[in-house]
Amino acid sequence: MDAARDDAAGPDSQPLWQRHFPDSCRWDGDIERITIPELLARGLARARGPLLDFRGRQIGFPEFAARVERLAAGLVAAGFAPGTVIGLHLPNTPFHPLAFFAAARAGLTVVHLSGLDAPRELVHKLATTRARALVTTNLPGFLPVALSLLDGGQIDRVYVGDDAEWGPSPIAEPLPVPARPDVVPLSGLEADPPETWPARAPDDVMLLQFTGGTTGLPKAAMLTHANLTAAASMYRLWCDDGDDDAVSTRVICVLPLFHIYALTTVLLRCTRAGNTILLRQRFDPAEIVEDIAVRRATAFPGVPTMWIALLNRPGIERIDFSSLRSCMSGGAPLAFEVMNRLTRLMGVRLSVGWGMTETAPAGTRLPKSADLRPGVIGIPLPGVAMRIVSLDDPGRAVPTGETGEIAIRGPNVFAGYFEKPEESQAAFRDGWFLTGDLGRVDARGVFEIVDRRKNMIISGGFNVYPVQIESAIYEHPDVAEVIVIGIPDAYRGQAAKAFVTLKTRAEPFTLEALQDFLGSRIGRHEIPRALEFRDALPRSPAGKLLASVLVAEEAAKEAHTSSAKTGQDPI
């Protein structure tokens, strides 16, 4: 049977990946579809140590759960009705999990806002979701922003957590909180629990999580309680790198909690397991090294930029990585050569996987017994079904080995885009979510990402995938980071352009030298026809490199050039 169609087999048949990798997951394990408050209650019942370690302070599960109850009671007493949307505009601080679980207990819906969001983006997200209240902290990058939103009429009330509660900040001094009726200290919100709590069901929307917005303004994905708790279960059922209780005993969380990656794979997973999160406010390679070598962290999920920074850190080869059971790279593709170097360094293979905001973000993991090769993302997690569908007809699965669009379904897949029924309908076909990722699946059920559909370059009639070119460029000894995009080409229609940052003390090289280097690594139609060096490449708040920013820059330059030739204003 075709691997692409294997998920649709009869009840006595198993998907190919399950037959070929029977020991990678507890395939028959329970996938919980419960509410977020139930998840916390189950974690509290089996807690073995503190939930959070932050600035040297440990916060136990009972203390955390009691504070959540009091904050939730305060939200109910303040008049927030079930289903009301409340914004969280927070860095990595204990105030985030406290506010997130308190909002869930009070029956509210959360919208995450990034500390790196521009004012226009914040206004768009608040207006789109109709959130009129905000939880923030009094650090310089947050409190002034919240006050400006108040003064601009975008919100009606701000709850402010005092950063000094957690000890001295290594980043900045907290600001004084102004005395005004629409600014409420978070500690002043706490109240005694009500006689009955607002009732919420697993299928109720818990989170409005904005997508990256690589084209136009970002959309809010509606994630239910069940989506989030099912995704957390899927990660916990993965046992290829050991029992989850051992793997997630002490997890470093430097990934931003406002991003779906850290929210599910760290906060919800560790909370449900009763384990400890080493919560870090910013990525500091020295602190991460100490977490591993001294505090004996067992897991470190990161993004490619973090792994590259660690790999390039002087003296990193002398660090003791033996406590680590799981190292995960997500958020964006990591170059194959970089993965190999990290595996040799740490003595544990860097895990790869795939997921999206819309899948909360459970999708795939790569079993240890599967071949590690460029672009591979692994097999679907328990409860997830995936297939490759035709680019021309997304209702038709394509044969094994053929490139098409990745489609996915499962209890973790979102309920649609908030108040965008047409876009929601277009995103699904016959119950399958169309991811926009191009990929293929092999005879063992292992999936491979080729590129994002919108990133594909058509050069001289050939489909060219930037990720494959980037992987080859990463083999260059002087390259630190790279993004490849398509630019107009009079002869080919489009051609590849590489944007490169160099390693410390490395010298720039010519386009011709790069082309010579790549000549034996990629096809002639894939060779970049332009090269630009940058001091830094654009990235998202979660650290993901953003090709879309460079695409927009090149489009603006092209429009300016065209207008100069015609004498017309590009505006």
What mean pLDDT comes out for the span 40-45? 97
What pLDDT is attached to residue 491? 67
What mean pLDDT comes out for the span 51-60? 96
| 200, 225, 248 - which closes a domain | 200
Tokens of 250: 């002490």
Among the listed residues 566, 560, 554, the one whose alpha carbon sits nearest the alpha carbon of residue 529: 554
CA distances from 471 to 254, 374, 508, 538 (A): 25, 7, 19, 18
Tokens of 57: 């302070």
| 172, 200, 228 - which closes a domain | 200
Dist CA 140 CA 172 (whole Å): 7
CA distances from 498 to 156, 479, 540, 549 (A): 46, 11, 19, 14
Tokens of 114: 């990034």
Q: Is residue 138 part of a domain?
A: yes
What mean pLDDT comes out for the span 546-565? 75
Q: Is residue 266 part of a domain?
A: no
Whether 309 and 342 have beta carbons less than 8 Å apart is answered as no
| 182, 200, 218 - which closes a domain | 200
75-79, 210-214, 416-420, 494-498: least confidently modelled range: 210-214
Mind giving me the DSSP string for 401-458? T--EEEEEESTTS---BTT-HHHHHHTEETTEEEEEEEEEE-TTS-EEEEEEGGG-EE
**Range of 194's domain?**
57-200
- For the beta sheet containing 109-113, the strands, ordered from the edge strand earlier in sequence to the opposite edge, are 183-185, 157-161, 133-137, 85-89, 109-113, 205-210, 220-224
Q: Is residue 65 part of a domain?
A: yes
For the chain, give the percent of residues with pLDDT over 70. 91
What pLDDT is attached to residue 117? 78
Q: Is the pLDDT of residue 47 over 60?
A: yes
Q: Is residue 400 part of a domain?
A: no
Mind giving me the DSSP string for 288-353? HHHHHHTS--SEEEE-HHHHHHHHTSTTGGGS--TT-SEEEE-SS---HHHHHHHHHHHSSPPEEE
Q: Residues 383, 223, 160, 257: what is their CA dihedral angle, to the nearest 10 degrees?
A: 40
Whether 390 and 396 have beta carbons less than 8 Å apart is answered as yes
What mean pLDDT comes out for the span 525-533? 92
Q: Residues 57, 61, 62, 68: what is their CA dihedral angle, to the nearest 10 degrees?
A: 90
CA distances from 197 to 38, 43, 69, 103, 194 (A): 13, 20, 10, 12, 6
Q: Residues 557, 563, 564, 567: what is their CA dihedral angle, to the nearest 10 degrees?
A: -170
What pLDDT is attached to residue 218? 76
Q: Is the pLDDT of residue 71 over 50?
A: yes
What pLDDT is attached to residue 263? 97
Q: Is residue 181 part of a domain?
A: yes
Dist CA 297 CA 550 (whole Å): 37
Q: Is residue 2 part of a domain?
A: no
Residue 86's CB is within 10 A of a number of other CB atoms, namely 24
Q: Is residue 254 part of a domain?
A: no
Q: Is residue 137 part of a domain?
A: yes
What pLDDT, in 10s, does the model give residues 209-219? 998 543 446 78
CATH number at residue 513: 3.30.300.30
What pLDDT is attached to residue 3? 40
What pLDDT is attached to residue 400? 94
Dist CA 422 CA 417 (whole Å): 9
Q: Can you tell me whether residue 126 is helix, strand or coil?
A: helix
Among the listed residues 132, 137, 81, 142, the one whose alpha carbon sits nearest the alpha carbon of residue 111: 132
CA distances from 4 to 20, 359, 389, 395, 465 (A): 15, 19, 8, 12, 22
Q: Can you tell me whether residue 285 is helix, strand or coil?
A: helix
What pLDDT is attached to residue 549? 87
Residue 374's CB is within 10 A of a number of other CB atoms, namely 17
For the chain, give the percent of residues with pLDDT over 90. 68
24-28, 471-475, 510-514: least confidently modelled range: 471-475
Q: Output phi, psi for 341, to 5 deg.
A: -65, -40
CATH number at residue 108: 3.40.50.980
Q: Buried (b) or exposed (e) across 106-135, using 16+ Cβ within 10 A?
A: bbbbbbbbbbebeeebbebbbebbebebbb
What pLDDT is attached to residue 237? 95
Dist CA 67 CA 69 (whole Å): 5
Instruction: Return mean pLDDT, the chain.
Output: 89
Dist CA 44 CA 30 (whole Å): 19
Whether 233 and 193 have beta carbons less than 8 Å apart is answered as no
Strand extents, DSSP E, 146-298: 157-161, 183-185, 205-210, 220-224, 250-253, 276-279
Q: Is the pLDDT of residue 565 over 70?
A: no
Q: If you count DSSP H runs as helices and E runs as strands, how many of each does the chain have, helices first?
A: 18, 26
What pLDDT is attached to residue 461? 56
Among the listed residues 357, 457, 461, the one whose alpha carbon sits nearest the alpha carbon of residue 413: 357
Tokens of 122: 């914040």
Report field, pTM of the whole predicted structure over 0.85: no
Amino acid (1-letter code) at residue 506: A
Whether 538 and 545 have beta carbons less than 8 Å apart is answered as yes
Dist CA 204 CA 44 (whole Å): 23
Domain count, the chain: 2
What pLDDT is attached to residue 562? 55
What pLDDT is attached to residue 453? 66
